[in-house]
Amino acid sequence: MLAFANAKINLGLYVTEKRPDGYHNLETVFYPVKINDVIEITDAEETTCQIKGIDIPGSAKDNICLKAFELLKKDFDLPDQQITLLKNIPVGAGLGGGSSDAAFLIKLLNDKFQLGLNTHQMEDYARQLGADCAFFINNRPVFAEGRGDEFSEVDVDLSGYKIILVKPPVHVSTADAYSGIVPHRSSKSLKELIQLPLRDWKSNLKNDFESTVFLKYPEIAVIKQALYHEGAIFAAMSGSGSSVFAIFEHGVKLPGLEKDNKVFYNI
Ligand SMILES: C[C@](O)(CO)[C@H](O)COP(=O)(O)OP(=O)(O)OC[C@H]1O[C@@H](n2ccc(N)nc2=O)[C@H](O)[C@@H]1O
Ligand SMILES: Nc1ncnc2c1ncn2[C@@H]1O[C@H](COP(=O)(O)OP(=O)(O)OP(=O)(O)O)[C@@H](O)[C@H]1O
C-alpha cells in the first residue's frame, strides 16, 4: 500500500513565547505543497525501514517512520511491515518532511489494518512524534498555534498562483534555530494579517527565524532578495529554514538560482 507524503510551507511564522516544557508557542499558517515522499508498506518477517532517494542524516533505525510504527504498535496488534521510503523532500529545509512521513504512515496503517482511528485520534498520535506532525493528518491550509499543533480554520487559497521553492545546500537544525530566537508577541495576530490582500503580505507577514538564520547563512537572504528581484509578490523562508519559497503571479524560470541551489517549480 502506497502513500504520497507532501511538504508544507509556513505563510508567516511568529515565535511568541518560551513554554515551561522547553518548546515554544508560535503562530503560523501551514500550507501544503506538491513536493512528495513516497511511502510503501508491505507485510514482512520483521519491521524495517529502507530508504531510497536523497540522504537522511543518521541511521535508518532512527527514522521517524519506525517511531510512528512503534507508537501505534503499543496500542494495536500490528503485523511486521517493511517500510520503504522514497525521500524527495529536502531535509533540514523547514518543509516538515519527516513529520509528513510519520503522519502519512499513521494514515496508511489506519487504512491498511482498519484501526478505526478518526482524525482527532490520529492527530493525538502524530503530535507525540513532532510538533509539526499533526498538521499533516488533515493536510489542509490551517492557522496553527501552541506548539504548532492547535488548529483553527483559515481562508487561504493560492491555487491561482505559482509557488516556487529554492533549497540552498545548507542544513538548518530546527532545535538550533529555536535556541537562537528571542520570543515576542506581535501587535496583530497572524490570523488577521493573513486575510490581507496578497500584495500586502510583503510588508506585513514575517518569519521570526529569518533574522537569526540569515545572520548565520547570508546566502539564504540573498535568495530571498533574488526572488523579489524576479517579481515575486511574496517571498519568505519556510519554517526554520533553509528553504525559501516565493509566490508569483505567472510562471517563471530562474536559471541564475539553479546553479547553486535546487529549485522546485510550481509546487
Ligand atoms: C519550525 C517549524 O517547522 C514551524 O512549522 C516547526 O515548529 C518545527 O516542528 P518540528 O520539526 O515538528 O519540531 P519537533 O521535531 O517537535 O522539535 C524539534 C525541536 O524544535 C524545538 N521546538 C519545536 C517546535 C516548537 N513549537 N517549539 C520548539 O522549541 C524544540 O527544541 C524541539 O526539540
Ligand atoms: N523520514 C525522515 N525524513 C526526514 N528526516 C528525518 C526522517 N526521519 C528522521 N529524520 C531526522 O529529522 C531531521 C529533520 O527532519 P525534517 O526534514 O522534518 O526537518 P526540517 O526539514 O527542518 O523541517 P521542519 O523544520 O519543518 O521540521 C533530519 O536531520 C533527520 O535526522
Which residue has the least CA distance to atom 28 on ligand 1? 23
β-pairing, 162-167 with 244-248?
antiparallel
CA of 42 to the centre of ligand 2 (A): 23
| Catalytic pick among 8, 87, 107, 224 | 8
- Residue with the smallest CA separation from ligand 1 atom 5 is 239
Q: What is the pLDDT of residue 10?
A: 98
Q: Which ligand is nearest to the CA of 175?
A: 1
Strand order in the sheet with 262-264: 234-237, 244-248, 162-167, 262-264
Which of 23, 171, 242 to mutate for ligand 1's pocket (most ligand atoms within 8 Å of CB)? 23
Ligand closest to CA 127: 1
**Of ligand 2's atoms, which has the minimum distance to the CA of residue 101?**
1
The whole-chain average pLDDT of the chain stands at 97
How do strand 142-145 and strand 81-87 relate by DSSP bridges?
unpaired
The grid coordinates of residue 120 equal: 482527532
Type of residue numbered 29? V
Q: Which residue minimizes the CA distance to atom 15 of ligand 1?
A: 130
Active-site pick, 37, 132, 149, 208: 132
**Has 208 been annotated as catalytic?**
no
Question: For atom 4 of ligand 2, which residue has the closest CA?
Answer: 98
Distance CA 208, CA 17 (A): 12
pLDDT given at position 258 = 98
Residue by residue, pLDDT tens for the chain (267 residues) are 999 999 999 999 999 999 999 999 999 999 999 999 999 999 999 999 999 999 999 999 999 999 999 999 999 999 999 999 999 999 999 999 999 999 999 999 999 999 999 999 999 999 999 999 999 999 999 999 999 999 999 999 999 999 999 999 999 999 999 998 999 998 899 999 999 999 999 999 999 999 999 999 999 999 999 999 999 999 999 999 999 999 999 999 999 999 999 999 999
For the chain, list the domains and their CATH numbers: 2-152 (3.30.230.10), 162-264 (3.30.70.890)
Helices 64-73 and 119-127, packing angle to 10 deg:
120
Q: Which atom of ligand 2 is nearest to the CA of 85?
A: 1
Is 124 among the catalytic positions?
no
Give the model's pLDDT for residue 187.
85
Pocket of ligand 1 (CB under 6 A): 10, 13, 23-24, 26, 28, 94, 96, 99, 130-133, 147-148, 174-175, 178, 239-240
Pocket test for ligand 2, best of 8, 31, 56, 129 (most atoms within 8 A of CB): 56
Q: What is the largest CA-CA distance in the chain?
A: 56
Q: Which residues contact residue 167 at a Cβ distance below 8 angstroms, ignoring those fewer than 6 apart?
A: 90, 93, 242, 243, 261, 262, 263, 264
Atom 26, ligand 1: which residue's CA is nearest?
A: 147
CA-based Rg of the chain, rounded to a whole angstrom?
18
> HSE-up of 190 (CA within 13 Å, CB side)?
25
CA dist., res. 215 & res. 61, Å (int): 34
Task: List, as residue ranges, the binding site.
Answer: 90-100
Residue 102's closest CA among 70, 75, 150, 57?
A: 70
**Strand partners of residue 27:** 14
ipTM value for the complex: 0.94
